[in-house]
Structure formats: structure tokens, C-alpha cells
Structure 1
Amino acid sequence: MQAAEITPVVQLSVEAPAVPLLSWLSAQTQYPRIYWHGRDKAEEIAAIGICKQFYYQDEVDDHQLAQDYQSQRGKSGGQDLRYYGGVAFDRSVECWPEFGRARFVLPRIELRRSGPKVKILLNLNFEANNKQDEYHLALEAIDNLQKPKPLAPPNKTRLMSRSDLPDQHRWRELVEQVTQHNFNQTTPKVVLSRQTQIDVAEPVDPWTVLACWQGRNPNSFQFGFQFSPQRTFISCSPERLYLRRQNELFTEALAGTTIRGLNQEEDDILAQQLLDDVKNSHENQLVRQHIVGALKPLSQYVGAEEQAKIFKLTHIQHLHRAIRAELNAGVNDFDLLRALHPTPAVGGLPRQNAMNFIRQREGYARGWYAGACGYFNHYESEFSVAIRSALIEPNRINLFAGAGVVAGSDPDAEWQELENKLATILSILIDF
């Protein structure tokens, strides 16, 4: 029997000297353009084109998505095929053009850097095309590769206008609704968010922005998806949804926020105040309890840190608890996505109550903001929660930030938390 009959998707690979992957990606003219850099910084990915994908734009049925997801994942066999993409925060509502409610792509060409070496991967799909047609498509993609060139200089652009949705007045109303005793008794947490739309004078190169953001927050996940020239979603997110290695799972509760200090002494004081703060500790504990509860039916063992620790970023610091699980046999990535996403750190508790409130009151569709972005394959999968993110369009930048609202939350303090979370990306983008 021929190899192509046994394995409908074939991966070829060759090693090459390292090149700056964001520079290489920015120079390419084939779409989609995909970038992924995990939080542990061990591996960096740049990829272009489509060998195979599944994509839901209008409606998504969870059971059908699960079947498609497992079908794609199962075809990797002994090969290291990776499907990169994401699912929207709320798959029941309309999402951004080209991104869809769920979209995962096996790239045509992928560059993986680990240390000083780059592995170049070429994926061939003999399910959809005959051999000659697929060879022709692959050779065409290779012929159209562009040499890397330096990224555009990170010049700041002039702010033409800014609008917030919801605005501060509406934000105050929403926080007051969530903190009302009767509502809070049944829905103890809702993560409200805001879209900040910035109109700018000059076009913005998303890959230059991501490179600058990466430099400011190196201990975050950094990723970007550009399915067409019109829109690019980039994120520099501190939050892991999960890392799965075979049946071992690593996840976390990341909730509770304060700013960084101007010096080490002030930074330590602010960190201790965050650890001692009742509202933030309660918020983080709710997230921990929910994740552990969601994983128990899927796992032989679930363990979580009892005491929160501090996770530091450039402008802010968070409360963090690590969680580890040993999964039951047969548990797949979509089981995990359905169980864990949206987490209480981006949605709320109980999940359905909070989601209904957000859907009806927040005033805009989050799209892939607060969605789950990452990759899966047969042996290992990793997803980040897409907070600290931006949707870049021609002469327009959409920024997103959220804050967990629980009993005792102050509307003005939560609004300021949104501003703190946007401080890094705004300092990169805008010439005030």
C-alpha cells in the first residue's frame, strides 16, 4: 500500500539556519499569516497558507465541531501536524469576518524555531486533491516565498479619535447592576469588558506592533492571525488556558490585578496588598474552584495551589494559582475547550448567567477577544486566553480589556483597571 493511501496528509521537513520569524512573516504575500510564541519561550512559529482547515463563519454546532476537531487531530498519526487557530469568546453570536466562530488551519508552509535552528515544514493534503494538483499547489507556494526584510520602524501614529464601548457612564451602570445584592446572589461574578476603538492617521504594521509588544512583555504568550490584508488579530496575553501533553494537563487561575510599583520597594508593597485584598483574592478563588470543578469529571487527579502567587507583567501584576490534572483516557482537546472556556476569568460565574448578561448588555461582539487561541496535534496542544489583544484594520485599531466584577467592586476603580491593562499597547501605538 502506498504511503499517500495510508496517510492522507503528508509533512516534509528540512532544517535551515535561523531567521527572524516576524520579519520573515511580515514579508510574505500569502494568507493566512500566523504567528505563535509560547509563554515559556522555548519555541517560536511562523506559518503561511492553507493545506487544510475547518472554519465556521455563520453557525457552529458544538457536536459537529467536536467531530471535525477530532477528525483533524486524529489524522496527524506519527507526524507533528499542527492546526493553529481559535474559537470565539461566544460561539453563539456573529463573529468578525474571516475569523469565524471557530477556525483552525494546517498551514501550507511552517517555520519552527527552537534555539539557533529553524525547521521548515511543508504540508501536503492528498485528501482534497490528486497528487499532481497538490504538488503544483505546494510548488506554487514555495515559488511565491519572499525573502525576509527588516520590520517597519516602530513609529507611533497620531490619534485622530477614540471611542469606548461601553462608555464610562454605561460602564458604571453595568457594574452597579452586577453588584446589586439580588443579582449578585445568583451571579457572583461577571467579567465586563470594553472595546476601545482608535482611529489613526497612518497605517499600522501589525507585526511591528506585535514585535514591540513582545519586547515589553516577554513572559506572555505572543500570537497573531491574519486571514486577509484587511484584519489582523494580535495578542500578548499572560493567560494560559491549558497545555496538554498526552494525558497530562497544566492550567491556571489568573485573576486579580494591581499596578506595578515605580521601584522594587513600592512594587513589593503593591504585590502584598494584592495578596491581602479580599475582593481580588475572592475573585481568584472563584476561578480556581470553577476550573477544578470543571476538570474533575474529565480527570483521574486534579491538584491546585492553595495559596496564590504574584505573576508580574510590565505595567500590572496578577494573582496566579497553578493547576495540574491527569486526564482520563479518551479525553480530547475539544472536551477540554468546552469544559474550560470561557473561564471565569473572562466570562464569570455561573458561566451561563454571566454569558447571558454579557451577550445582552455589553454592547459589542467580542469576537476572538477573550477567545481561546493556540494549536493542537495528536500528542501536545496549547491554548492561551486571548486577553491583552488588538484587532488591527486599515487606519483603525480596536483594543480590548476586561475586569472581573464581584460584590464590592467599584465602577471607577474597575474602569481604571481597564486603562492600566491598555497602558503597554497604547504606549507602543500612540503619539499623545
Structure 2
Amino acid sequence: MAALILSQAISSLTDKLKQFNFQSPSDPIIQLSVSIKAIPAIAWLSAQPIYPRIYWKGRDTEEEVSAIGNCKDFFYEEASDDNQLAMAYQEQRALSNNQDIRYYGGVAFDRTTESWPEFGRARFVLPRIELRRSGTEYKLLVNLNCENQDTESERRNAIDSLASLAAPKPLPPPNKVSLLGRNDRPDRYHWTELVNKVTHPKFIKETPKVVLSRLTQLEINEEINPWMLLACWQGRNPNSFQFGFQFSPDSTFISCTPERLFRRRQRELFTEALAGTTTRGLNQEEDALLATQLMKDSKNSHENQLVRQHIVDVLTPLSNYVGAEETPKVFKLSHIQHLHRSIRAELKPGVDDFQLLLALHPTPAVGGLPKEPAMNFIRQREGYNRGWYAGACGYFNKYESEFAVAIRSALIEPGRINLFAGAGIVSGSEADAEWVELENKLTTILSILTEL
């Protein structure tokens, strides 16, 4: 069938829903789709009246998804152990053999502590409606949940959701934001204290790396469209993962992050060690010099090697084969560059995404080594709740999954923008230099907010 314009696609899907025989399918999750002419995905998402609103774009794929509504979800707000989450995950994963069915969501950085309202320790959503782009091809999809459901009611809900869809509207033009105030937690004095504690010879002998982070709260008096902000950020760093979760009008988490947690296709797994940072140069010569200095810097090389070795160690029991690049490469973003090593594994039969999440997250690039003492230090000393910052966000189904680590991210609330940045503290780290690294990591998003 030829690609349809939006109004035709809505009519076609509505007709399919009216004619669909709910007695015949074997899967309790049903998905119907039509090909559609190109639509600007973020502008379409921003115009919709339905929540949640979800956006996902992979780092090195031509795939883009805008999704709305809630066909089914699993949501853990209170303290729960990972065994409960694993069971819930397996239940969802078993509901459909359709490789196009996807749950989008994330898990918090630390699932043992209080998390953000609406986001919880973990939340994954099977959307009601999705706009998906693969290369230059677009599809409009509708999902139905017939597990223990009144199928006629589910049919009506899906038809009503389609009827409510709005045409895309241009995103509001970006305007310079007037900052009423800025608050850093920890502040610079407390940051210096924390770095000095971690780098103390007695502490660092037992815990060679702790990733400390900072919450920067910007007070504003104007309304910010989070999807406009994400679109601008996307333009500055197109080679990053870009995603957003807006479960209600008042709170949106967006991220433009370079770091993949893992990508799984059946039993093939791709992951990476991304750690070690410097700035970009003002010209090609300076940029190349900074990259060379980064490659030769013992502190940054040591930090990246710690992450690489940890990933290999935790994947080995789950895999028939694990291979990691011996020498790092330089991964360039608009304002900073990182050391990067690719890692590939062939998983053992039966290994699922949640086992991978438990093994790999939090990575040493956002938590530290060994994991538990580093996490305990962060819980007790950092002074704020990370929530989904440095959490794992992405999608899964029975056959494939992809998760990114939400390190370059922002939580937009009424009157406030919350920005996050972290730095790996190892032997040789200096508090002032690490504070400058935090500022460098906020340069892109701050420039969007304040220089327009």
C-alpha cells in the first residue's frame, strides 16, 4: 500500500480496528499499522493532547519513534527488589511474539532509594499509538492489550485515541531564557570535600573509582517547551542517543547522551566503555592535539580501562564469547570528546535483557568500582536524588532491545530546569579540574538556554 497522509492513515487504521476479529489472534497484544507520508516526529509529538508522550532516537541507526498514550505498562514506584522487576519484565516480554511490539521506558540510577514521582524505580510503557521512522519510511501504529480486557472496550479506546490525534505544528522558536537563579548540589565547597575524601589513599585503595555528580537547578519564570529544547539539543549533538519521557504535562525528562548501555539482537550484544573526557579545540589543530593528549593521559586512560575490564568481567558468565577493543578511540561531541572502546558478546541461550541490566547498570562510568562501596558513598554523600539521571532508558521486546545511559540529561518542571553532570573520581583527580569538567558537560545545553 502506498504511504498515506495523516488523515487517511487515521481513517485506514480506524477501519482496520472496526473490522478486526478479536477471536482469532493468539497473542494478547495486538498491533495494527499503515504506511504514512513523512511527518516531523518531534513536532507531531509536541502537538498531541495525550499522555504519556515518549520519544526515542538511536545513536547510530536511522530509527526514530514518537509515541503517545498507555496501552499497558509496568511501574514500580515503591522500594522493590530487582527480582520483582525481573519477573514483571519477563511477563511483559512473553505476551507477544511480534517483533514490532515494544515497551519504552527506563530504570532509575539507584533502585534502592526514593525516585522521582511518575518515573519511579522503573517504568515501561507499551504506547497506544506510535509514529515510527526507519530510514525514509514512516509507519503509524496502534497497539491493543487484550490480556484480561474487554476487547470491545479496548477497540473503542483505540479508535478514540486515533480520533484525538492532532496534525504536527511547528515547534515554538527557541528564545533566550532569563535565569532567575542557579543552585548547585553539591556546591563547590562540598564538591571539593567529596573529591578529597574519594582520593584519600586509604579510601581509594579499596574503592578505586567513584563517579560523583552534581544537580544544577536553574530557576526560570517562563514556560519551556521540552520538545523544542530536545530538538535544539539534537541539532547540536546528532551522533548521540536522544529520548524524552513526559508522563504528565508538568514533568519531562529529556536526554541527549553519547553512551550506549547495550544493544541486543537475539543473542548478539554490543556495548562499550565510554570514560575519560577532554574539551574540543577551537580549530582542527587544537582539537587533534587535545585528542592526542587525552589518549596519552594516564588518569583518563586508567579510568577507561577500569570501565572496560569491569564490563568484560560481568559479561563473561553470561556469554560464550566477549571481545573488547584493546586500544581506545576518541568519540567526539560538540563541546567535549571521550575515550571509547567497543565491546561485543555472544550471549548464552536464555540470557534476557533484565539480566543484562542488572549486570551492566550502573556502569562504572556512572557509579564506580567496586559497585557496592561506590554506590553506598554516592547514596550517603552526594546530597540529592539522581532519579533517572544516569539511569538506563530504552526499549525492549522479545527479540531485541536497546538501552542508553542517561548522562547528558535534564528534568524540566514548572519554573525550573534541572541539569545533571558527573565526573569519574580516581587516583590523581583534582577537585578544581573535575568541577571544570562538570561545567564543560553542561556547555551544550546551557548554550541552548542562554545564548539564543
TM-score (norm 2): 0.94
CA displacement, residues 39-59 of structure 1 (integer Å, 9 cap, x when unaligned): 014100000000010000112
In the other structure, the counterpart of 2:418 is: 398
8 Å contact 1:11–1:79 — kept in the other structure? Answer: no
CA distance change for structure 1 residues 251 and 79 in 2, over 3 Å: closer, same or farther?
A: closer
Count, aligned residues = 432
- Distance between the aligned counterparts of 2:281 and 2:54, measured in 1? 35
Query: How far is 1:3 from its partner?
Result: 5.1
| Compared CA separation, residues 262 and 431, structure 1 to 2 (3 A) | closer
Asked whether the equivalents of residues 110 and 121 of structure 1 are also in contact (C-alpha less than 8 Å), the reply is yes
Any conservation in 2 of the 1:241–1:372 contact (CA below 8 Å)?
A: yes
The match for 1:239 among 249, 259, 276 is 259
* Paired residue type of 1:131: T
Measured in 1, the distance between the counterparts of 2:355 and 2:131 equals: 29
SS of the residue corresponding to residue 178 of structure 2 reads: strand
Deviations 1:368-402 (A, max 9, x none): 00000000011110000000000000120000000
CA contact (8 A) 2:99 2:399 kept: no
- Report the Cα distance in structure 2 between the residues aligned to 1:109 and 1:418, rounded to whole angstroms: 38
**Equivalent in the alignment of 1:217:** 237
Choose which of 387, 405, 408 in structure 1 pairs with 2:407: 387
Structure 2, unaligned stretches of length 5 or more?
1-20
Question: Displacement, 1:117?
Answer: 2.2
Asked whether the 8 Å contact 1:158–1:431 carries over to 2, the reply is: no
CA RMSD, Structure 1 to Structure 2 (Å): 1.1
Q: Verify: 1:264 aligned to 2:281, yes or no.
A: no
| Separation in 2, partners of 1:145, 1:45 | 16
Q: Which of 252, 265, 268 pairs up with 1:248? A: 268
Structure 1 match to 2:185: 165
- Kindly state the Cα deviation for residue 129 of structure 1 after the two structures are TM-superposed: 1.9
Separation in 2 of the partners of 1:223 and 1:127? 29
1:93 aligns with 2:113: yes
Distance 1:133 1:194, change over 3 A: same
Show CA shifts across 1:89-143 (max 9, x none).
0000111110000000000001101233211110001114211110111111111
* 1:415 equivalent in structure 2: 435
Structure 1 residue 32 corresponds to structure 2 residue 52: yes
**Aligned residue in 2 for 1:191:** 211
Following superposition, the deviation at residue 36 of structure 1 comes to 0.2
Residue equivalent to 1:113: 133
Question: Whole-Å Cα distance in 2 between the matches of residues 25 and 275 of structure 1?
Answer: 41
C-alpha separation in 1, matches of 2:204 and 2:135: 50
**Secondary structure of residue in 2 paired with 1:6:** coil
Report the 3-state secondary structure (helix = DSSP H, G, I; strand = E; otherwise coil) of the residue aligned with 1:284: helix
Offset of 1:230 from its aligned partner?
A: 0.8
In the TM superposition, what are the counterparts of 1:26-425 in structure 2 within 5 Å? Answer: 26-425=46-445
Counterpart contact for 1:4–1:10, Cα < 8 Å: no
Q: Secondary structure at the match of 2:242?
A: strand
Separation (CA, whole Å) in 1 of partners of 2:85 and 2:29: 20
Distance 1:63 1:230 in 2: 31
Deviations 1:265-302 (A, max 9, x none): 00000000000000000000000000000000000000
The letter for the 2-side match of 1:388 is R
Task: Determine the structure 2 residue equivalent to 1:430.
Answer: 450
* Partner secondary structure for residue 303 of structure 1: strand
**Aligned residue identity for 2:146:** F
Q: Secondary structure at the match of 1:337?
A: helix
Would you identify which runs of 4 or more consecutive aligned residues in structure 1 move more than 2 Å? 1-5
Read off the aligned partner of 2:102 and give its amino acid letter: R
Give the Å deviation of 1:7: 1.0
Q: Which SS does the other structure have where 1:7 is aligned?
A: coil
5+ residue gaps, structure 1, are none
Q: 1:252 to 1:92 in 2, by over 3 A?
A: same
Which moves more between the two structures, 194-203 or 340-349? 194-203
Q: TM-score, normalised by structure 1?
A: 0.99
| TM-superposed deviation, 1:431 | 4.7
Take 2:25 and 2:160, find their aligned partners in 1: how far apart are those partners?
Answer: 24
- Cα 1:2–1:145 change in 2 (3 A) is closer
Matching of residue 14 in structure 1 with residue 34 in structure 2: yes
CA distance in 2, matches of 1:369, 1:218: 20
Is the deviation greater in 2-11 or in 139-148? 2-11
